[in-house]
Amino acid sequence: MKFGVVTFPGSNCDHDLIYAMRENLGQEVVHLWHKDHDLQGCDFIFLPGGFSYGDYLRSGAIARFSPIMDEVIAHANKGGYVMGICNGFQMLTEAGLLDGALLHNASTRFICKNVHIVPASRSALITQNLEHKAYKVPIAHGEGNYFCTPDVLKKLQDNDQVIFRYCDENGRITDAANPNGSLDNIAGVCNVGKNVFGLMPHPERAADEMLANMDGRKLLAQLV
């Protein structure tokens, strides 16, 4: 699989992601620029974390109209893989490729810390072969409070579209383990086709031995 990582003005996790996929997982990765109209033959497109366009208006709202997004949306609609992490997740909801929206954290605070997440979906590429346990992965966001209407939530649950939920270190899904007020402790979802993923935590920040936490690498390794 050939991976592409798109840099938007204000992206700041693009190089972490390129490093994780290329150096930690030995994959072919190309660096894509948001103004291009060419995915360079990539099979899997990443929209990285950061603060695209300064988070102006709403997080991810303006990046959703960057030139390359025409090709990213077309790629996703043809069944191609796309994954948004943090700000990339926000872009995918703004683009309508994923259901729901990411509201301000219930605490109103920007949260930067390690949290635990547990795989949920039994049919999505990123979770289907993961051991069912708590993975320690950092979050760093001000708007990660996942929201959708009750109808959409039911659809997500019925179609096995929730990929990760926030949990405690023992894998228990509790209110106390929910860092940002997300509905149903949702940390990530995918689309009905199971080819578009969105995740608030940053697996690319926990993928190198030097960082003393390799749980994120286990998540990214599912995509390879």
Partner 1 sequence: MKYKATIHIMPRDEILDPQGKATLLGLHNLGLDDIGQVRIGKRIEVEVEAKDKQAAEDKVKEACTKLLANTIIEKFEFELN
The residues binding partner 1 (CB under 8 A) are 57-58, 61-62, 65, 93-94, 100-101, 103-108, 147-149, 181
- Rounded-to-5 percentages of helix, strand, coil across the chain: 30, 25, 45
Minimum CB distance to partner 1, residue 84 (Å): 16
The two most distant CA atoms of the chain are separated, in Å, by 45
Phi, psi of 162 (to 5 degrees): -85, 120
Q: Which is nearer to partner 1, 19 or 147 (CB)?
A: 147
**Measured distance CA(195)–CA(16) in Å, rounded:** 22
Residue 104 among the catalytic residues: no
**Measured distance CA(202)–CA(180) in Å, rounded:** 15
Q: Which is nearer to partner 1, 84 or 203 (CB)?
A: 84
- At 146 the three-state DSSP class reads strand
Minimum CB distance to partner 1, residue 180 (Å): 10
Minimum CB distance to partner 1, residue 103 (Å): 6
Residue 86 among the catalytic residues: yes
4 Cβ neighbours under 8 A, 6+ residues apart: 29, 30, 31, 32, 39, 40, 42, 44, 45, 46
**Measured distance CA(114)–CA(48) in Å, rounded:** 18
Q: Which is nearer to partner 1, 34 or 116 (CB)?
A: 34
Q: Which is nearer to partner 1, 56 or 123 (CB)?
A: 56
Give the burial class of 50: count Cβ atoms within 10 A of its Cβ; 0-12 exposed, 13-18 middle, 19 or more buried.
buried
Residue 42 among the catalytic residues: no
Minimum CB distance to partner 1, residue 106 (Å): 6
Q: Which is nearer to partner 1, 24 or 52 (CB)?
A: 52
From the list 115, 111, 100, 99, the residue with the least C-alpha distance to 143 is 111
Minimum CB distance to partner 1, residue 101 (Å): 5
Q: Which member of 86, 148, 167, 190 is catalytic?
A: 86
- Residues with a known catalytic role: 86, 202, 204
